[in-house]
Amino acid sequence: MRRADLLRLHRQRLAHLLNLLRRTGGFYGERLAGVPAALLRPLPAAAARAADAYEMFLDELAGVPLTTRAELEADQRAHPPYGTNLTEPLGRYVRLHQTSGSGGAPLRWLDTAESWAWWKRCWALVYRAAGLAPADRLFFPFSFGPFIGFWSAFEAAADLGNAVLPAGGMTTNARLRYLLDNGVTVVCCTPTYALHMADAAREHGQNLVGSPVRLLIVAGEPGGGVPATRARIESAWGARLIDHAGMTEIGAWGFEPVETPGVMHVNEAEFIAEVIDPATRRRVPDGAVGELILTNLGRLGSPLVRYRTGDLVRLTRSGASAWGCFARLEGGVLGRTDDLLFVRGNNVFPSAIEGILREFESVVEYRLALQPNDGLNDLLIEVELRPAADGPALAERLTAAVRDRLNFRPIVSVVPPGALPRYEFKARRIRKDE
């Protein structure tokens, strides 16, 4: 698909969405009263072919108010339990999920049957790009609770005709036995849990490298885009890692084609993507780091317009890939706006710390914390090591590696085995003391 064709698609579907929201009122009714009139109608074909047509579209789109999570939370508090961002009568909604609560109070999110089918279409693209085959057997070590997690991934794979193996309510060791006994070829989990399963398999003498597993599709954390984490997972499993990104409230927006390792793409057939400076709220140039803003075009039962995801990315639309003109994100999601650390005068992405720590095979788990010191912040890195590791020597090496690459000296503390928490989904490795 060419950028001109994509622009016409975006303008057509956005006009339908904006008119729907203006007509149904609710959360977006008054917010969209002053929307630029041009966005309420499709774009003529000739106008879409202009060299700067897409840039002009993004400039027009900037006239539509941004949507924040805080606003959605306030709406649900004022109109419990689901808020007013609903375009259909309540009886037409068939799915209820909620966010993990890692960013504040959980958001409850409803989907109609049509919106849920859209979710599954988005995941079908993730699978197609990853090279999923009809004979693949997919394994989901996930709790299957109210958090959306891999629910849509599970059902999308089933719709494609693949064998799907749920693994909720099981210990890690039981999951490993189940995986190995049933010829699983694709695992869907977080990067953290992929490493945890690999460690557990090693402790019990189980051979993951020799198993039929050929793909791990990971989501929920930036780790899939961190080269050292990616390499460690692929080495431990003897399988290819595919990164993915999505959110309960916005949908499954990011996919990694098997042809471009480490380069996530935005599913621009279903989403409009912008990148802004989080402070000024102005659009940044292609290739600059900023906050990803998304509008979903097919989740009409509970849509979001210009949603501030909080994800920091480096987006480019120049050139092309095997997937046409879709926007690309080098390194995937780089971090979160609310997780950026300010250490000794340096802005530090937690993923940069992870990238260093994962290069050390003896590091099993870690946790970060800021410690005030004479008006500045020191960074405490707690690390849990394999039993045979030389703790003091490794702490010195870790300290030197961080100092040399990130220009500050951290405090590295080796903690006893089992002292740090383990996570099945969305690891919280930044300790925030009250």
User: What pTM does this model have?
Assistant: 0.87
57-95 tens-digit pLDDT: 999 999 999 999 999 999 999 999 999 999 999 999 999
378-392 tens-digit pLDDT: 999 999 999 989 999
Q: How far is the C-alpha of 239 from the C-alpha of 213, rounded, in Å?
A: 6
Q: What is the pLDDT, as a whole number, of residue 424?
A: 74
Does 428 have pLDDT greater than 90?
no
Residues above pLDDT 90, as percent of the chain = 80
Residues above pLDDT 70, as percent of the chain = 98
Q: What is the pLDDT, as a whole number, of residue 322?
A: 74
Q: What is the pLDDT, as a whole number, of residue 102?
A: 56
66-70 long-range Cβ contacts below 8 angstroms, 24+ apart: 66/281, 66/293, 66/306, 66/307, 66/308, 67/31, 67/304, 67/305, 67/306, 67/307, 67/308, 68/307, 68/308, 69/103, 69/104, 69/107, 69/249, 69/308, 69/310, 70/104
Residue 434's pLDDT band (boundaries 50, 70, 90)? very low
- Asked whether the CA dihedral 273, 275, 279, 282 is positive or negative, the reply is negative
H/E segment holding residue 188: strand 186-189
Amino acid at 169: G
345-395 tens-digit pLDDT: 788 888 889 999 999 999 999 999 999 988 789 999 999 999 989 999 999
Residue 104's pLDDT band (boundaries 50, 70, 90)? low
Q: How far is the C-alpha of 287 from the C-alpha of 272, rounded, in Å?
A: 17
Q: Which domains does the chain have, with CATH numbers?
A: 1-65 (no CATH), 68-333 (3.40.50.12780), 341-431 (3.30.300.30)
Q: What is the pLDDT, as a whole number, of residue 103?
A: 54
